[in-house]
């Protein structure tokens, strides 16, 4: 039950976070010209560069770091568990 709740919370946070991020960007860089709304128009070259760097760091580098960190922690726990299990084996057969 707790796992399902955490899964739904993760999905909700992902959706809400991405919507908030994109809506703030769209509202600040949109312009209406002759009744037509153009998104991402009012943005300087420095702002475009900053947004691209931000997207690269937080959608690629940060996720890669989190994956490597968590995978490393999993490997440490598996090695520790293997050592504990090896310590229980006293050379006799298990019957």
Contact 40, 28 (CB under 8 A): no
Tens digits of per-residue pLDDT, 53-83? Answer: 988 998 899 999 999 999 999 999 999 999 8
Spatial contact of 29 and 40, defined as CB atoms under 8 Å apart: yes
**Cα dist. 4→7, 8, 74 in Å?**
5, 6, 22
Domain boundaries defined on the chain: 1-43
For 13-46, how does the pLDDT look when each residue is reduced to its tens digit (9 = 90+)?
889 988 888 888 888 888 888 999 888 788 888 9
Q: How far is CA 68 from CA 7, 40, 54, 85, in A?
A: 21, 34, 20, 26
Give the per-residue pLDDT at 2: 80
């Amino acid at each position: 039950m707790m796992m399902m709740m955490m899964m739904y919370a993760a999905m909700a946070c992902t959706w809400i976070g991405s919507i908030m991020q994109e809506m703030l960007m769209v509202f600040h860089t949109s312009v209406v010209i002759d009744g037509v709304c153009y998104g991402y128009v009012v943005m300087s070259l420095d702002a475009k560069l900053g947004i691209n760097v931000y997207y690269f760091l937080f959608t690629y580098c940060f996720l890669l770091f989190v994956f490597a960190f968590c995978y490393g922690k999993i490997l440490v726990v598996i090695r520790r568990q293997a050592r504990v299990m090896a310590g229980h084996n006293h050379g006799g057969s298990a019957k």
